[in-house]
Amino acid sequence: MLFQSIEFLIFLPIVFLLYWFVFKRLKYQNLLVLVASYIFYGWWDWRFLILIAITSGFSYLSGILIEKFESNPKKTKWISASNIILNLLILCVFKYFNFFVGSFVQLFNAFGIHLDWASASIILPVGISFYTFQALSYTIDVYRKKIEPTRAAIAFFAYISFFPQLVAGPIERSTNLLPQFQKERTFTYENGADGLRQMLWGFFKKIVIADQCAKYVDVVFADYASQNGSTLLLAVFLFSIQIYADFSGYSDIAIGTAKLFGIKLMRNFNNPYFSRDIAEFWRRWHISLTTWFRDYVYIPLGGSRVSKAKIVRNTFIIFLLSGLWHGANWTFIVWGAYHAILFLPLILLGKNRKYITNIAENQWFPNLKELLRMLLTFILVALGWIFFRSATISEAFAFIQNIFNPTVTDSVLLVKGLNINILLIFILIMALFEWFNRNREFGFEISKLNIVVRHVLYWASLFAIIFYIAENESFIYFQF
């Protein structure tokens, strides 16, 4: 079920009313969330429910068994490891099986050994990477004694499948989300209004900006070889905006929706394109994933408290894993390696935490040095997005090569049904809202403005969303 679909616009108010006015007791609210989440997820394909139920069931059982054998460290280690391996095995089979086997066959072919292989027809379940990592965090946290294992099965299954963030995050930690399903929740007008504002902002970014950018990006990337340099350059810029507006827009809708049910989800984006170096960008981009890899992979490997050689190793491991997490394609792995190379000098020189406050703190605008740093960081990130968007590595390099030719000053391609000037104005509007609200949770946090101004902005945004809405557009990150 898509957030921008008619089905969801009917589904959400029904669940909301039942949640607060019918199922008032905690256990019934959790049961409703669980049933609603399974309906929401099964709307794509009911077979997906089998996998999420298996992941939830074994992760729930692992917590109970770890507690039962807590006096035997060897057993608890094997229990946690078994559940982690099981969940990763499910993820690998459904997401990476064809990729690994295909790469294996290509390697043999390169040495003159020809193997016959027909790709298996395996459906990739929506959001499997997200809920798998959420389940893993519970087992690891229980093993590390950061959270008490729960015996409330309904609350736990609701934690894994909570529909606002089920298919594209934020990837929640058991220490944050699970306790919220184990205590009474109350509705407040302020929290509800704030949630609706954040949802409105998310829909604006997704439908008015990301989906319109996609119209241009899809045309250009599909036929990049025949396009001039200026068109390719504009497509790279628009894809950079598209992937941010799409994914952060989803996160805003998810976080805002959760607020309607008295649940607080972690922030997933913090104005990443206002970053002054790559390290700051990764503290602000897909925060739930980057901190997951930091806490569950990077730090256990020794983090940056080891030798220089191991720091290099650890940095490449987390960025390559991050690339592979995004998709079963070598382009994603190259994208991860590219960011590792950009990140390494900062961490080796101890400058990876140079920028931990917002740019232009307590000022209206950045100074020239900050502006140039922000521009350079955006260019480096945008260059990496070419590999992320391309079908193959060779296509990505050809795309880059075609940008830097004499046609880079030619007129850009015009795409039927898309007014580039209006789109650029909307992108500027989004950037301005996020810039002036960069110290707040989201760009449309305008509750302190004059009531007339606020409502003009609300209705203008709503009309723009209705004007541009298209039900056939999905979120980019659903494929991950």
Direct distance between the N- and C-terminal alpha carbons of the chain, in angstroms, rounded to an integer: 16
The total of other beta-carbon atoms located within 10 Å of residue 211's CB is 22
Output the six-digit token pair for 12: 């959400």
Q: Which of 198, 189, 210 is nearest to 265 (CA)?
A: 198
Cα 300 from Cα 292, distance rounded (Å): 12
CA dihedral 223, 229, 235, 237 (to 10 degrees): 160
**Half-sphere exposure at residue 451, Cβ-oriented, CA atoms within 13 angstroms:** 0
Distances (CA, A) of 406 to 239, 291, 379: 22, 42, 20
- Contact (CB, 8 A) for 388 and 326: yes
**Which structure tokens are listed for 309?**
């050689």
Q: Active-site residue among 114, 326, 339, 455?
A: 326
CA dist 142 and 67 (Å) reads 8
DSSP string, 201-239: HHHIIIIIIIHHHHHHHHHHHHTGGGS-HHHHHHHHHHH
Q: Which residues contact 330 (CB under 8 A, 6 or more apart)?
A: 103, 392, 393
Helices (H) and strands (E) in the chain, counts: 18, 0
Between 48-68 and 73-110, two packed helices, what is the crossing angle to 10 degrees? Answer: 140
Q: Is 339 a catalytic residue?
A: no
The CA-based diameter of the chain, rounded to the nearest angstrom, is 72
Is-contact 181 298, C-beta < 8 A? no
CA 55 – CA 53 distance, rounded (Å): 5
Q: What distance in Å separates the CA atoms of residue 279 and residue 295, rounded to the nearest whole number?
A: 16
To 5 degrees, how large is the angle CA 258–CA 286–CA 263? 15
Query: Which residues are known to be catalytic?
Result: 326
